[in-house]
Amino acid sequence: MRKEVRIAGFGGQGIILAGIVIGKAAALYDGLQAVQTQSYGPEARGGASRTELVISDEEIDYPKVQHPDIFVAMSHEALLAYLEGLKTGGILIIDPDLVMEDEISSFITEHNIQVYHAPATRTADEKVGLRIVANIVMIGAITGFTGIISEEAARKAIAASVPPGTEDKNLSAFEAGMELSREEV
Amino acid sequence: MTSEDYFIQGNEACARGAIKANCRFFAGYPITPSTEIAEDMAVFLPREGGTFVQMEDEISTLGAVIGAVWAGMKGMTATSGPGFSLMQEHIGYAVMTETPLVIVNMQRGSPSTGQPTMASQGDMMQARWGSQGDYEIIALSPSSVQECFDFTVEAFNLAEKYRVPVMVMSDENVGHMREKITIPEKVEVKARSMPEEGPDTYLPYRADPDGTSPMPALGDGYKIHITGLTHDERGYPDASNPQAHSKLVKRLCNKIRHHTNEISRIKTENVEDAEIIIISYGAPSRSALKAVRTARDQGLNVGFIKIDVVWPFPEEMIQKAAGNAQRVIVVEMNLGQIFYEVQRVLPEVKVELAPKIGGEMHLPEEILKQINSTKD
């Protein structure tokens, strides 16, 4: 089982941390192999941000993502930039408040993409009262929609990755994200 | 003994390996893509009673490490291509003065400042020949986060054993990727060999049969003269004496060359009876491995060699493992460096190059395509 995940948005959304948390959950708490990589340019501040994960139950030879099974878009720019790579029959998770879904409807149909909606930024604002935890809300949604990591591993990885003293806020953000996945399903 | 698992970057693993190997001095001039090594050493070293210094450039950086090592510390620096170029003068000085130290080079796109955030293996020959004169160094090439830790520990041990600069030649891919690694509570660490005899009879450059000599620290009471000039067994300059120069430089080379089979290491997979053998090292060895496995699934008889310790070049090991192949393909992220070494040691075999520059690893398909290309 080799699964490839790509998460993209803009700088400041915590995209890279989301990748690290998911990788940590898989590798340290779910007993899987995981490689997390990221791309950035020398000038990147507030521009595009992207993290990628390979998760497998076997040794990972080639560590880079080529054709993601799961693509999470947290900005419209990122959605348009990376949608092409998504595997036929793959999963697309979008924050509907930040992207215009109409523009990609033909790709979705042609490639038989399963689309899930996770308004992570609004949920972070309204349910947790902290916009900055939108990335953790999205981890909850990814976990709920795809099962790529277990809930228990995700909680442990979040607690181990966020600044001390912010664990409760972040775990409630994760629960809010899980809730989004239940609502849509 | 307990060990602990972490999900960290290759750079962080190098820093943790250095600390485990008792490195207590780091001088650096941070440079992408190696910066996290300096950042971590700045955090870890003060906790361990060690010293971190940020210098004004990479020339002074390696000078500071050489000084700290002669003061009795284990020392390291980390850099990338532009800094590695500036270090070449002091690499030669460390070779000549037999100063054990470790340099991590997270290679990036080059020449010059090139591609700071992209990878290459463009410095492999510079590691071997970058400073002037005849000399030998040791270079290891990690391809994973775990190897960054393990090879850094090994680099410190080899440096002490052979009193030579040892280079960890990785690249941006490995430096920045995160994977799970297991860090044991304790690792095997080679301590510095101190002289058994007293200051009256000790000669700092009188070599043991294996070519090295014990090394006291400044302040231990031994009178030591350290120079980059050709020197005698006392360490005093003897630069106009042809015999002294020949004896010294041959010893510096032979203490490594005569131990190539102990220092170097390759890993092989399915090389017996393989018609085609892929040879790689560092990050692209992972693309190569994927390509080899796919080719085998397609029914092709393909073997794989990963070079862990690239310098001194594992000549006899490569000959033994690949000497009977019909084709050998060398996969590296440059336009041909280790390829020429493989060609040199396998004169009877058709050796091909699978080069790649631009900053990204080879795609497994690219290597597979070359495996499947018509034999001519």
CB-CB neighbors (< 8 A) of B361 in chain A? 62-64
B177·A42 Cβ contact <8 A: no
Give the residue ranges of DSSP H helices in A55-185.
Answer: 76-82, 105-110, 120-123, 134-146, 151-161, 167-184
DSSP B35: H
Cβ contact A22:A149 at 8 Å: yes
Look at the pTM and tell me if it is higher than 0.80.
yes
A28·B117 Cβ contact <8 A: no
Residue ranges of B 35-94 with Cβ closer than 8 A to chain A: none
B289 vs A42, A61, A64: nearest CB: A61
Burial (CB count within 10 angstroms: exposed 0-12, middle 13-18, buried 19+), residue B138: buried
B117·A27 Cβ contact <8 A: no
B180 vs A20, A28, A40: nearest CB: A28
Quick one: which of B348, B339, B327 has its CA closest to B271? B327
Could you give the ipTM of this predicted complex?
Answer: 0.95
CB-CB neighbors (< 8 A) of B333 in chain A? none
From first to last of its 376 residues, what are the pLDDT tens digits of chain B?
578 999 999 999 999 999 999 999 999 999 999 999 999 999 999 999 999 999 999 999 999 999 999 999 999 999 999 999 999 999 999 999 999 999 999 999 999 999 999 999 999 999 999 999 999 999 999 999 999 999 999 999 999 999 999 999 999 999 999 999 999 999 999 999 999 999 999 999 999 888 999 999 999 999 899 999 999 999 999 999 999 999 999 999 999 999 999 999 999 999 998 999 999 999 999 999 999 999 999 999 999 999 999 999 999 999 999 999 999 999 999 999 999 999 999 999 999 999 999 999 999 999 999 999 965 5
What is residue B339's three-state secondary structure?
helix
What is residue B322's three-state secondary structure?
helix
Cβ contact B94:B101 at 8 Å: yes
Quick one: which of B278, B368, B280 has its CA closest to B332? B280
Give the whole-angstrom CA distance, residue A143 versus residue B275.
46
Residue ranges of A 105-124 with Cβ closer than 8 A to chain B: none
Amino acid at B316: E
CB-CB neighbors (< 8 A) of A42 in chain B? 32, 116-117
Residue ranges of A 23-42 with Cβ closer than 8 A to chain B: 23-24, 27-28, 33-38, 40-42
B116·A33 Cβ contact <8 A: no
A37·B176 Cβ contact <8 A: yes
pLDDT band at A37 (very low <50, low <70, confident <90, very high): very high
A61·B290 Cβ contact <8 A: yes
Q: How many residues does chain A have?
A: 185
Place of tokens 């990147």: A44
Burial (CB count within 10 angstroms: exposed 0-12, middle 13-18, buried 19+), residue B197: exposed
